Amino acid sequence: MPSSSESWRALLARHGPALVVFARQWAATHADAEDALQDGFVRFLQARRRLEDEVAYLYACVRSAAIDAARTRGRRRRVDERRAAPEPVFADVPAQMELAASVEAALARLPGEQREVMVMKIWGELTFSQIAAALNSNPNTVASRYRYAIERLEAMLADEVRHE
C-alpha cells in the first residue's frame, strides 16, 4: 500500500465513475466493470514503479485489468450471459435517457482505439498527454483519434435524428 492512502481514495472518488465507463468497453455489465476497476486499482497500489502521472497510470492499470478479465470471461462465456439484456453505461436520468442511449449505441460502433480515447477525454477529463501516457502512445496520435471519434459520433447522432 502506498503511504498516501488518502490519495488513492481521492483518486477512486474522483475517477471511479469514469473508470467504470472506461472498463465497460471490455465488460458486459456494470459489476464486471467494477471488478476490473478493483483489479486495476490493486495493480496500481501494488506497483513499485510508477509513471510520472498517477492518473494516466491508473487508467493503464484498469485498462489492462479489464482486457485480462475480458479474455478470461471470453473463455468461460455461457449462453445465458450472451442472452442477458445489456446494462446501461450511463446513470438512469429521465431527462438524459434518450441522448444516453444514442451515445451508448454510437460509442459501441466506434473503433476501440477511438472509443477509449474518447472516454478518457470526455468523462475521465484526461489531457491528450495523459491519454498518450496511459496508452503508451503519442499525444498527436491520440488527439487525431479523438478528433475522428468526435466527427464520427456527431455524424452517427445526426443520422439518428434525421431517421426519427
Partner 1 sequence: MNDEISDLETRLAALKLRTISPALEPAIVGAAQRPSHASVRFFWSAAASGAIAASLMVAMLVAQSNGNAHPAPLAEVALKVPAGSAPLAVLARADVRWGDDFGLNDNPSRP
Residues that bind partner 1 (CB under 8 A): 1, 8-9, 12, 16-18, 20-21, 30, 34, 37-39, 41-42, 45-46, 88-91, 93, 96, 99-100, 103, 122-123, 125, 128, 139-140, 143, 147, 150, 153-154, 157
Distance CA 43, CA 58 (A): 9
Q: For residue 23, which phi and psi values (nearest 5 degrees)? A: -70, -25
Shortest CB 108 distance to partner 1, Å? 15
Shortest CB 5 distance to partner 1, Å? 9
Residue carrying the nine cell digits 464520427:
152
Looking at the Cβ atoms of 79 and 96, the one nearer to partner 1 is 96
Looking at the Cβ atoms of 73 and 152, the one nearer to partner 1 is 152
Residue carrying the nine cell digits 435517457:
97
| Max CA separation in the chain (angstroms) | 55
Looking at the Cβ atoms of 79 and 91, the one nearer to partner 1 is 91
Length of the chain: 164
Shortest CB 161 distance to partner 1, Å? 12
Looking at the Cβ atoms of 81 and 154, the one nearer to partner 1 is 154
Looking at the Cβ atoms of 67 and 157, the one nearer to partner 1 is 157
Distance CA 67, CA 71 (A): 6
Shortest CB 79 distance to partner 1, Å? 27
Question: Using an 8 Å Cβ cutoff, are 59 and 157 in contact?
Answer: no
Q: 118: which 3 cell numbers?
A: 474518447
Question: Using an 8 Å Cβ cutoff, are 117 and 145 in contact?
Answer: yes
Q: For residue 47, which phi and psi values (nearest 5 degrees)? A: -65, 135
Shortest CB 136 distance to partner 1, Å? 19
